[in-house]
A and B are shown apart, each in its own frame.
Chain A
Amino acid sequence: MPKLSYHRALNLALRDEMVRDPAVCVFGEDIGVAISNVTTGLLNRFGPERVIDMPISEQAFTSFATGAAISGSRPVVEFQIPALLFLVFEQIANQAHKFGLMTGGQVTVPVTYLLPSSGSRVGWAGQHSDHPYSLFAHVGVKTVVPATPTDAYGLLVSAIRDDDPVIIFGPAGAMEQREDVDLATLGPIPLGVGRIHRPGTDVTVVAVGHLVADALAVADELADTVSVEVFDPRTLYPFPWAGLAESLERTGRLVVVDDSNRTCGIGGEVLATAAEQMRLVAPPKRVTRPDGAVLPFARGLDLALQPTRGQLRTAIETVVKTR
């Protein structure tokens, strides 16, 4: 079977949806030459009216996508750098997201925002290393963080077909993922449904994006002493609460590993919801970036602010021991 890379999965999803639906188009910077390795081949195949290289005017082309979506197109907007989302927060959170409600349902805004490398790439420093998915979940934009190539394919397909704005964060830390997969088996994966990567009975680890792989590695390390269930929400908004509740019915213990800044990160929401409404037999824990983290340039400083396997292992051991 072919090895499917994360980039290739995103590329295939774009290609397949563009073949399936002539309304699908892609906007972004340097996408003609596929500088992010995601739009490879699309310009040649679909032409410059569907694959549009935009000037460095993120605010304009993000709302341009809103106008196009209201008018029958289904744009995918690629952002090379996660911090660009701060620049276009107005256009996404205050325009595209609100148009349906504000117009009383006269329009829908089927736009997909695609971040093919969010989070730290190590050494890209303060303005290229954020992973701001929690901001969008907070606002209520459908927010997706696929952990694997297969999920990246299926969730991007569903995002494009969805009639609302959807933002997809491809974690930089997951870009090296490869999967043995029969391409014929790739298909849409519904938004809002989590995935249990590893069943377990002692503790539920909710892991977001590239941290799923870390959670699985830690679960392996601990396999002789702790049975860890690894729950990947895949969609952070709407969050698959029912799936989490079922998992906690089995385990009653919870650790979240989340590459967000601690305050108001999705990890906090998971803990709060579990505490309010779900079965917990011990206080839960979360492993996150520190409060207000800005990733410094130097490698050691960058890594010092990201959740580590060691931190996760300690958190799991603590939660499992607590009575």
Chain B
Amino acid sequence: MADAAELYRTVRLIRRFEERAIELVRAGVIVGGIHPYIGEEAIAAGVCAALRREDLITSTHRGHGHVLAKGADPIRMLAELAGRETGLNGGRGGSMHAADVGVGVYGANAIVGAAAAIAAGAAWSHRGAGRDRVAVTFFGDGAVNQGVLLETMNLASLRCLPVVFVCENNGFATTMRVRDTTAGSITGRAEAFGIPSSTVDGQDPEVVLAAASAAVRRARAGEGPSFLECLTYRFDAHHTWEHSVRPRYRTDEEVAAGRARDPVAIQAARVPPEVRERIDAEIEALLDEAERFVQASPEPDPAGALDHLYAAGNLGRPGVA
């Protein structure tokens, strides 16, 4: 079980990674922008602390926190965001598709709710091969109205799969409030499929860890899937693009109120100041190194733009003949 300092390290790493990534978006080093996870760090940190290295996750368009918390190298993660050959995916995935299968990150996925079925299939395959692995699928509140997610909940319950459904309810599907998009309740959907569910404070890493640990234990014991709704708040934009477009869908007062419960501050209060300072310094040094690594890393050779599309090499024709 992760101790307070480890959880602090994870939420702090995600926070600082995201803040520095936003700066790199502004500087043009990261093109295409990102969906910042700032404010929601406790969920990734708490859930992934309940997992083993060989367990697996699927992530979302807002996925940096999950990828880092599951154990991907932050240096290669930043290089991926910057589209470098040295990135986790060789610069082929970027922010919305970062993957590190070696540590169980079966990919961030840019289609809302789409990855749940992939996680369920992976859980099924590993179980069938006698491998003890739990699959966690992260998704937002917007995903609970996607058919494929609901279909997957049915399938996972039906086949008693070791899957944990983690809903990060930050109150908004992009700009649409939950109450404007979601009839009934979020956990009611899980209950309808016979999946035990709970709603927890998604701002407190230790609360999330406790709930996730129970769900993971249940999955590992062969008792089937669980559903965890984590109440959270997105401090920053849906996407960095919003910094320039500035759509009005929440007031400054509301954002300020949401920011008042900061997962990094909540966990920081549980760690002695000298430990915290040491962790903070280590994280800054790590991210300094990551930025230097990005600057020193080559961009991918355009000649290889379709590398990895097929297992045995590109088999298509070029665009000109």
Contact = CB atoms under 8 A, between A and B. Distances in A.
Contacts of B126: 71-72
A55 B151 contact: yes
Interface in B88-136: 88-93, 97, 99-102, 106-107, 109, 111, 114-115, 117-126, 128-129, 135
A104 B308 contact: yes
A94 interface: yes
B76 to A, nearest CB: 11
Contact of A67 (B111, B122, B147): B122
B256 interface: no
Interface string B300-321: 0000001111111001110001
B107 A94 contact: no
B114 A64 contact: no
Interface string A57-80: 101111111111111110100000
B120 A103 contact: no
A105 B120 CA distance: 21
B117 A59 contact: yes
Question: Interface centre among A62, A100, A192, by most B CB within 10 Å?
Answer: A100
Interface in A165-220: 192
Contact of A64 (B93, B102, B117, B128): B117
B121 A99 contact: no
B93 A103 contact: yes
Contacts of A90: 111, 114, 148
B114 A99 contact: no
Contacts of B59: none
Given A63-B114, A163-B311, A70 B316 contact: no
A70 B114 contact: no
Chain A interface bracket (under 10, 10 to 19, 20 to 34, 35 or more): 35 or more
B87 interface: yes
B155 interface: yes
A139 to B, nearest CB: 11
Given A49-B128, A95-B118, A276 B93 contact: no
B187 interface: no
Question: Interface centre among B107, B129, B147, B306, by most A CB within 10 Å?
Answer: B107
B311 A70 contact: no
B92 A104 contact: yes
A57 B147 CA distance: 9
A106 B118 contact: no
B128 A67 contact: no
Given A67-B122, A101-B309, A102-B92, A55 B129 contact: no
Nearest to A73: B125
A104 B307 CA distance: 8
B124 A59 contact: no
B298 to A, nearest CB: 14
B155 A61 contact: yes
A66 B309 contact: no
A277 B315 CA distance: 18
B151 A60 contact: yes
Interface in A130-158: 140
A288 interface: no
Contacts of A110: 311
Contacts of B115: 63
Contacts of B306: 101
Interface string B157-185: 01000000000000000000000000000
B92 A68 contact: no
A54 B155 contact: yes
B60 interface: no
A55 B126 CA distance: 21
A63 B118 contact: yes
Contacts of B114: 63, 90-91, 94-95
B152 interface: yes
A99 B89 CA distance: 11
Contacts of A100: 308-311
B206 to A, nearest CB: 30
B106 A70 contact: yes
A107 interface: yes
Nearest to B58: A67
Contacts of A105: 90, 92, 307-308
B33 to A, nearest CB: 17
A108 B311 contact: yes
Given A67-B120, A71-B126, A60 B309 contact: no
Nearest to B158: A55
Interface string A14-42: 00000000000100000000000000000
Nearest to A62: B117
Given A64-B124, A67-B106, A72-B125, A104 B310 contact: no
B154 interface: yes
Contact of B118 (A70, A73, A75): A70
B117 A61 contact: yes
Contacts of B93: 102-104
29 contacts: A57-B154, A57-B155, A59-B117, A59-B147, A59-B148, A60-B152, A64-B118, A64-B120, A66-B118, A67-B123, A68-B124, A69-B121, A71-B129, A90-B111, A91-B114, A91-B117, A94-B111, A100-B309, A101-B309, A102-B107, A103-B308, A104-B88, A105-B308, A106-B101, A107-B101, A140-B309, A162-B311, A164-B311, A273-B321
Given A61-B155, A67-B106, A100-B310, 6 more contacts: A59-B147, A67-B135, A70-B118, A101-B92, A101-B307, A163-B312
Interface of A: 25, 49, 54-55, 57, 59-73, 75, 90-91, 94-95, 99-108, 110, 140, 162-164, 192, 238, 241, 273, 276-277
Q: Nearest 8 pairs between A and B by C-beta? A: A67-B121, A104-B90, A60-B151, A63-B117, A163-B311, A57-B151, A64-B121, A104-B89
